[in-house]
Amino acid sequence: MDEQNKQGSDLAAMMAPKDDKKKALIEFLKKNKRLVGIISAASIFVFILVIMLAGRGKAVKVSYATTGRTDMKIAISASGTIQPAHSQDIKTQMTGKVKELFVGEGSVVKKGGPICTVDNPAIQSEIVTMWLDLRASRADLKQTEEDFKTTAVLELERAKQRAEVSVELYKQKALAKIEVVSAELDYEKAKSAYARAEGSLNKLRASITKKELDLKGLFKKYAMDEEEFAKKKALTKDGVALFELVISAPFDGTITDLSIDVGGEVSGKEGKICTLVDMSTWIVTADIDETDVTNVKIGQPVQVKSGAAGTEIMDGKVTMIGSVVKRMGMTRTVEVECGIEDTGGLRLRPGTAGRLKIITSSLSGVIAVPLESVFKKDGGSVVYVLNGNTAVMRNVKTGKSDRDSVEVVDGLKEEEKVVTTGALDLEGKIRAKVVIDKGKVSR
């Protein structure tokens, strides 16, 4: 009872003014050392208990990859656009109405196959006139070549032979000098006649070549097929053209962007009828960072994935590296074109988005881990290796890497479990308790 009264008086003293409070508190602690010890021990216990409970609640859920020897392809990855390697706008400078239309959007046509016919009598007459003139010139050339062989060539050979015989006879004193002179003059005349005939023949040939080029240009101008036109046996009857102005396909392909219909007008100014796309060969173009493009070489293998093709991989090669650096904000890129060698039977569409990997080098029999497993620390690299339910930080030496994996040159051996998913939550810790997510284990 006295002890309680004493503590009470001490507490009362602590309620005194400020200076008196300090003295009273000091006196109270001196007289109650046992009570203070009990309070301190209880506080420390509570603190440790909180830390332990907090630690138990922060176990990290992780998955892992088991290390092993593997082959690694060092690649540059980029997004690109898949396009046909060969396409052409089918245009004509012809003006007229569409009489017949032989194709529709998506139609497949062969080289020389008809796309449409156009009604324009003036152009028909122009083509017929040029064609008939060319045909007549070719017939004239054939006759001229025959005449050249039977006259100029033959006469030259005979005059030469007579001149040579005359010289020999003169040497044998069997022929007078005047006869030799006469034979030599005949030979010179024959050579002159031969030269004139040959000049006329070459001039005719040049004229025909020009007519052929003019007619070929006309067919190209009107998007017509010369070979198909040449097969026609008759062009006119009673002054009326017997052939249609047929717009033809210049190569095998698929019709896209069809912009005409039967009865519609074809304008000689605009002239576009459709786009013809060769669906058999494809390219993918992508902009590669200028720091990466130094490792890209013509002929390097390429793997291409298309969003429309799912997980299928198409093989190809680098076919073109641009020479101009493109600037967009802070980025600088160079355009690279890759030819797709095998589409794997996939039906692609122009403009499809693609993801490509350019294989710049290959490694064999190395240990590699996913890129997300490796962290930088104190100028080096570290990974987290599983030891039971504990993840332990380990220093490693890394080598080459791509966008997915990195080679580990030293610090890991085969059959070790390296944390992948969840590694980010372990960054900076020496060791940590983990919960292994069996459903996401990758090997």
Confidence band for 234, pLDDT divided at 50, 70 and 90? low
What is the rounded average pLDDT of the residues 257-261?
90
Q: What is the CATH number of domain 75-84+279-363?
A: 2.40.30.170
What is the rounded average pLDDT of the residues 341-352?
78
Q: Which CATH number fits domain 61-71+366-440: 1.25.40.80, 2.40.420.20, 3.40.50.880, 1.10.1240.10?
A: 2.40.420.20
Q: Over the stretch 352-369, which tens digit does the pLDDT of each residue have? A: 898 999 998 888 899 989
Give me the residue spans of the domains in the chain.
Answer: 2-57, 61-71+366-440, 75-84+279-363, 93-248
How many other C-beta atoms can be found within 10 angstroms of the C-beta atom of residue 127? 21
- Report whether 394 contacts 408 (CB < 8 A): no
State residue 229 phi and psi, 5-degree precision.
-65, -40
CATH 1.10.287 for the 93-248 domain, yes or no: yes
442 secondary structure, DSSP code = B
Confidence band for 56, pLDDT divided at 50, 70 and 90? very low
Q: Over the stretch 138-162, which tens digit does the pLDDT of each residue have? A: 999 999 999 888 888 889 899 999 9
**Is the pLDDT confidence value at 238 over 80?**
no
Average pLDDT, the chain: 81
pLDDT of the residue at 39: 59
Give CA–CA dist 221/215, Å, rounded: 10
Higher pLDDT, 72 or 107: 107
Higher pLDDT, 292 or 224: 292
240 secondary structure, DSSP code = E
Q: Which residues share a beta bridge with 386? A: 391
Burial (0-12, 13-18, 19+ Cβ within 10 Å), 28:
middle
Q: Over the stretch 101-138, which tens digit does the pLDDT of each residue have? A: 999 999 999 998 889 888 887 887 888 888 888 889 99
pLDDT of the residue at 93: 78
Q: Which of 111-125, 200-214, 222-236 has the lowest mean pLDDT?
A: 222-236
pLDDT of the residue at 220: 81
Q: Which helix (H) or strand (E) holds 359?
A: strand 352-370
Q: Identify the residue whose tokens are 């060319």.
A: 134
What is the rounded average pLDDT of the residues 171-180?
88
Higher pLDDT, 428 or 367: 367
What is the rounded average pLDDT of the residues 340-352?
79
Residue count of the chain: 443
Confidence band for 270, pLDDT divided at 50, 70 and 90? low
